[in-house]
DNA sequence: CTGTAATCCTGCGAGC
DNA sequence: TGCTCGCAGGATTACA
């Protein structure tokens, strides 16, 4: 399930494969995704060239330029949802089922968007509509470099559970269920602790735990639980380094305790009751 | 300001 | 073997 490290890996993979490539044809399927693809957008794609792929939180931005004076025609805003796959493959590779978008490129390759559960989305933002601004309004800072003071302030004034706060994209952008659990373990904090109960030291530990977990996961090209693959089809490796996620009933990596699972914020949360004591 | 639950969706594995 | 059922959960919305 793509969170920031997976989306970052896709962005890094796609960047060199797409830069300067021209769209010679475009195909979009009938199945509904999380957000509608408007018919009128389809006709605009052919003839445009991809610019530099970017990422913000769990969102991918793919600028497309028109041939004339390399003016940006618009930007594709993509969310991989739960099972989205965005890959560049040889044109003669067989089409997998649940393929929803195909960009035919000028070097006998395809950029394909596949999404089994259809929680993902692809949208077109014409130049002039500020995509960064659109995302900026609902997203907090990137988790690789979290400003300490605002993070501490957000904790101090929140009575929500830590799990709910970490999943809130407006507090930190890009953290999902897996990395929230892993960060809380590394910080030694129970997922049901409330933000305002954290000491300054605990708050600092949590902030650096998020940064560390996300950074290490990116180094491992993300985590492949089921369907996730990078932009060139490679799987991730961080699932082999999980301390708590999906390890219910197994032994804690640092103590003799057993990993437990509780539901917080409607999401399953995995933690070690010894290393992450309740209360505080 | 909280939390909970439903909504979208398909595949998989456990249990019978 | 084949069925049902629970679960996976990102973002959004409705409701208590």
**Sequential pLDDT tens for chain A (280 residues):** 799 999 999 999 999 999 999 999 999 999 999 999 999 999 999 999 999 999 999 999 999 999 776 677 999 999 999 999 999 999 999 999 999 999 999 999 999 999 999 999 999 999 988 999 999 999 999 999 999 999 999 999 999 999 999 999 999 999 999 999 999 999 999 999 999 999 999 999 999 999 999 999 999 999 988 778 899 988 899 999 999 999 998 999 999 889 999 999 889 999 999 999 987 6
Q: Does A30 participate in catalysis according to the annotation?
A: no
The Cβ of residue A133 has, within 10 Å, a number of other Cβ atoms equal to 8
Helix (H, G, I), strand (E, B) or coil at A17: helix
Domain at A148-271: CATH code: 1.10.8.50
Long-range contact pairs involving A245-249 (C-beta distance under 8 Å, separation at least 24): A245/A177, A245/A178, A245/A181, A245/A182, A245/A270, A246/A270
CB A199 within 8 A of CB A209: no
The DSSP secondary structure of A224-250, one letter per residue, reads -SSS---TTS----GGGG-SSTT-TTS
> In terms of DSSP bridges, do strands A84-90 and A109-115 run parallel, antiparallel, or are they unpaired?
antiparallel
CB-proximal positions of chain B, under 7 Å: 1-6, 8-12
**What predicted TM-score, i.e. pTM, was given to this entire model?**
0.95
Regarding the domain with residue range A4-136, which homologous superfamily does it belong to in the CATH classification? MutM-like, N-terminal (3.20.190.10)
Tell me which H or E stretch contains A4. Answer: helix A4-18
Task: Pick out residues 177-206 of chain A having their CB under 7 A from any atom of nucleic acid strand B.
Answer: 194
CB-proximal positions of chain C, under 7 Å: 7-12
The Cβ of residue A159 has, within 10 Å, a number of other Cβ atoms equal to 10
Q: Does A157 participate in catalysis according to the annotation?
A: no
Of the residues A3, A6, A8, A182, only one is catalytic, namely A3
Helix (H, G, I), strand (E, B) or coil at A264: strand
Portions of chain A given CATH number 3.20.190.10: 4-136
Residue whose CA is minimally distant from C7 C1' = A268
Portions of chain A given CATH number 1.10.8.50: 148-271
Of the residues A15, A205, A267, A273, only one is catalytic, namely A267
């Amino acid at each position: 399930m793509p969170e920031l490290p997976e989306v970052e890996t896709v962005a890094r993979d796609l960047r060199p494969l797409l830069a300067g490539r021209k769209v010679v044809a475009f195909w979009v399927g009938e199945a509904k995704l999380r957000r509608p693809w408007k018919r009128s957008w389809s006709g605009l794609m052919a003839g445009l060239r991809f610019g530099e792929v970017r990422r913000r939180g769990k969102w991918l931005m793919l600028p497309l330029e028109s041939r004339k004076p390399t003016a940006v025609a618009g930007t594709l805003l993509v969310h991989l949802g739960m099972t989205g796959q965005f890959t560049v493959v040889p044109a003669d590779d067989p089409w997998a089922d649940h393929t929803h978008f195909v960009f035919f490129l000028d070097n006998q390759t395809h950029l394909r968007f596949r999404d089994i559960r259809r929680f993902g989305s692809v949208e077109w933002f014409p130049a002039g509509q500020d995509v960064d601004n659109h995302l900026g309004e609902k997203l907090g800072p990137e988790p690789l470099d979290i400003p300490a003071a605002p993070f501490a302030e957000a904790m101090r004034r929140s009575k929500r559970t830590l799990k709910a706060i970490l999943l809130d994209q407006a507090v930190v952008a890009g953290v999902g269920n897996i990395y929230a659990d892993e960060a809380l373990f590394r910080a030694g904090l129970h997922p049901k602790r409330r933000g305002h109960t954290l000491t300054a030291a605990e708050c600092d530990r949590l902030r650096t735990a998020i940064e560390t977990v996300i950074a290490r996961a990116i180094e491992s090209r993300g985590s492949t639980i089921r369907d996730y693959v990078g932009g060139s089809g490679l799987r991730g490796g961080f699932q082999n380094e999980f301390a708590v996620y999906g390890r219910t009933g197994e032994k804690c990596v640092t103590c003799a305790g057993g990993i437990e699972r509780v539901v917080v914020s409607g999401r399953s949360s995995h933690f070690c009751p010894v290393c992450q004591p309740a209360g505080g």
